[in-house]
Chains A and B, each alone.
Chain A
Amino acid sequence: MVRRLSILKQPIFSTLNNHLIDYPTPSNLSYWWSFGSLAGLCLVIQIITGVFLAMHYTPHVDLAFLSVEHIMRDVKGGWLLRYMHANGASMFFIVVYLHIFRGLYYGSYASPRELVWCLGVVILLLMIVTAFIGYGKLRQMSFWGATVITSLASAIPVVGDTIVTWLWGGFSVDNATLNRFFSPHYLLPFIIAGAAILHLAALHQYGSNNPLGINSSVDKIAFYPYFYVKDLVGWVAFAIFFSIFVFYAPNVLGHPDNYIPANPMSTPAHIVPEWYFLPVYAILRSISNKSGGVAAIGLVFVSLFALPFINTSYVRSSSFRPIHQKLFWLLLADCLLLGWIGCQPVEAPYVTIGQIASVGFFFYFAITPILGKLEARLIQNSNVCEDLSPRKLSHIFKNLLDVVK
């Protein structure tokens, strides 16, 4: 009788129980699986610090810069709120990028988890927009960054310039732009939270992937306490890493030009966006044509969305895909290279390197449909299973996919 009265069996709590406590989780998850909950933690940190910062920030062109200095100097603990929010954004992107690369390596995007992956890309897009409009407008770097990126809309034929003027609410980034960016900056994180819940729900339809990439129904353990503790270790490690930036190097990820109030008459010599935008920025700059650059950025996200559907491999984890494994590390190196190129001036040899690196990035996605079939063929040809014809082997692989859900 007492068991039925247990709080974990009541409505709402039972949902909590079924998804966070008694949830069957593969027993072999490594620490690479901690980045999901860590991303959720980052979102919570950003929302809480953001809400408290908004109590002291003034989104008016004459007062914005001063209000931030007011927060830093006058508000009790304001410096901590501001540095946590600014560095928290960087942390959020670090965690999410690691989370994405985990997904690429272990094939977490593959069937049946396509929806999880696509929702993840949606979250990434929302994060990018939120971070961009939250970067402020009234500091040298922010102002010019905002001017450059909003001007991209003028690439749209015919109506481009009208759209840009509409976006700005005027003829340049000014008070109107600041206000209309601040409002969605407050709103979007809650949309992200909703998308994150959908992301988790989609994941829980089939359960988490695991480092082996195989069906884990044979050995699942409860989420609580095992992965609660494992995630807690991850959270503590993250807190230490985060604290190093917030307390010892709070401005190292930013740009010193951003402590200069915006000057519409003079652009800084090297405009750079925040580090987490650099790879995409590099791809944008690789193409000299304005619309081409914008199209290239669009293509990046189209490729990400399409990945689960163009994948032809029956094997998920790169542990068992030797060719894909090498390509994965090449992709990672390529992204780091693109990031570096993004903060270099647009001169030789950086331009050429950037163009090659951009091609390399898209090559990974282009090769994906072929790669799965190539690896399957290589397994067949390696005579691993002597008594099986290549045809029978393909048949087995195909059925494996149904079992391995």
Chain B
Amino acid sequence: MMRGVVRRLPALARLSGSSGSSSSFCTAGVPFVHDAQECNKGFGFQEDGGVLFRSPSRVTGFLFHRGFASDALAGESAGTMAVPATVAALKNPTGKITYDESVHERHPPGDPSKKAFTYLVLTGGRFVYASALRLLALKLILSMSASRDVLALASLEVDVSNIEPGMTVTVKWRGKPVFIRHRTEQDIKLANSVNLHELRDPEEDSARVINPEWLVVVGVCTHLGCVPLPNAGDYGGWFCPCHGSHYDISGRARKGPAPFNLEVPTYKFMEDTRLLIG
């Protein structure tokens, strides 16, 4: 109750002590551990409805008084301005901890009054720091991904109008060779006439082409990566000289150590005679 009264007048409150109550709790003003007798002894306090003024400089005292915490301890010495509070504090060392609440209210540890708001603010801050760190990490890691000039070369347009039937053309796409074969009627018939059970990697020819007239496969042997030679081998397709794999006219592995058929990249026809690979 005393505490509440004193808080309403913070500027004056710091000069007050508690008279009549001999408890040792810290008031909202300068917290004294003293009782009424001490109060009157040291400063000549006057009581006025719970708010006390220091004499002699009653009126102006609170304006110029700096409210050092050591004032609490200087109460024991005689007079007010004779010995500066800081000197008095040094001359009378004590283990008492005193707090100066003229600046702002003090909440002792464990005091629940503003805990929720404080935690809200701090947690909000932590969310911001976490998102900033996340952003920084992402920017750094993603800076290592393919840059725009590399991505620009990730798709390749090919004009196939000049490729005669029976011709195979090799283009470079994403650093690898791609075979584009303009297949003849014979080639297509041959590709379709294969029994799937004979194939180590069974695939219908129709599943490997968009337009049966054009075969587009990546020219990298599925064994260990060499580039197969066109128009070679026993099956009318390609032959890899490194370890002797044979591929047919649909790019499927038929003989030799290659485990899979030649890869078919993603491609589409933008027009009849223009391919977009990748």
Contact = CB atoms under 8 A, between A and B. Distances in A.
A77 B143 contact: yes
A70 B147 contact: yes
Interface stretch (A48-56, A144-152, A191-199): A48-56
A52 B144 contact: yes
A55 B144 contact: yes
B115 interface: no
A78 interface: yes
A235 B147 CA distance: 32
B102 to A, nearest CB: 17
Interface string A109-144: 000000000000000000000000000000000000
A74 B143 CA distance: 10
A74 B140 contact: no
A4 interface: no
Contacts of B148: 73-76
Contact of B139 (A73, A74, A77, A239): A77
Contact of B145 (A70, A73, A76, A239): A76
A76 B143 contact: yes
B147 A74 contact: yes
Given A70-B147, A70-B149, A76 B140 contact: no
Interface in A63-121: 70, 73-78, 80-81
B143 A81 contact: yes
A56 B140 contact: no
Contacts of A73: 148
B149 A48 contact: no
Interface string B54-85: 00000000000000000000000000000000
B143 A75 contact: yes
Contacts of B132: 239
Nearest to B143: A77
Q: Provide the main secondary structure of the chain A interface.
A: helix
Nearest to A49: B140
A48 B150 CA distance: 24
Contacts of A80: 139
B116 interface: no
A56 B144 CA distance: 9
A80 B149 CA distance: 17
Interface in A31-53: 48, 52
Counting contact residues on chain B (CB < 8 A from A), the size range is 10 to 19
B143 A78 contact: yes
Interface string A304-348: 000000000000000000000000000000000000000000000
Interface string B139-169: 1101111011110000000000000000000
B147 A75 contact: yes
A182 B149 CA distance: 25
A77 B149 contact: no
Contacts of B145: 76
Contacts of B150: 74
Contacts of B143: 52, 55-56, 75-78, 81
Contacts of A48: 140
Contacts of A70: 147, 149
A80 B101 CA distance: 47
Interface string B234-253: 00000000000000000000
Interface string B108-133: 00000000000000000000000010
A58 B139 CA distance: 21
Contacts of A77: 139-140, 142-143
A52 B147 contact: no
B142 A74 contact: no
A76 B142 contact: yes
A76 B132 CA distance: 18
A194 to B, nearest CB: 24
A81 B139 CA distance: 9
Contacts of A76: 142-143, 145, 147-148
Nearest to B151: A74
B23 to A, nearest CB: 27
Residue among A52, A76, A80, A239 facing the most chain B CB atoms (10 A cut-off) = A76
A77 B144 CA distance: 9
A397 B90 CA distance: 19
A68 to B, nearest CB: 13
Interface string B220-260: 00000000000000000000000000000000000000000
Contacts of A78: 143, 147
B152 to A, nearest CB: 8
A78 B143 CA distance: 6
Interface of B: 132, 139-140, 142-145, 147-150
Interface of A: 48, 52, 55-56, 70, 73-78, 80-81, 239
Given A52-B143, A56-B143, A76-B145, 8 more contacts: A56-B147, A73-B148, A74-B148, A74-B149, A75-B148, A78-B147, A81-B143, A239-B132
22 contacts: A48-B140, A52-B143, A52-B144, A55-B143, A55-B144, A56-B143, A56-B147, A70-B149, A73-B148, A74-B147, A74-B148, A74-B149, A74-B150, A75-B143, A75-B147, A76-B142, A76-B143, A76-B145, A76-B147, A77-B139, A77-B142, A81-B139
Nearest first, the 5 A-B pairs at minimum CB distance are A74-B147, A74-B148, A74-B149, A75-B147, A77-B139
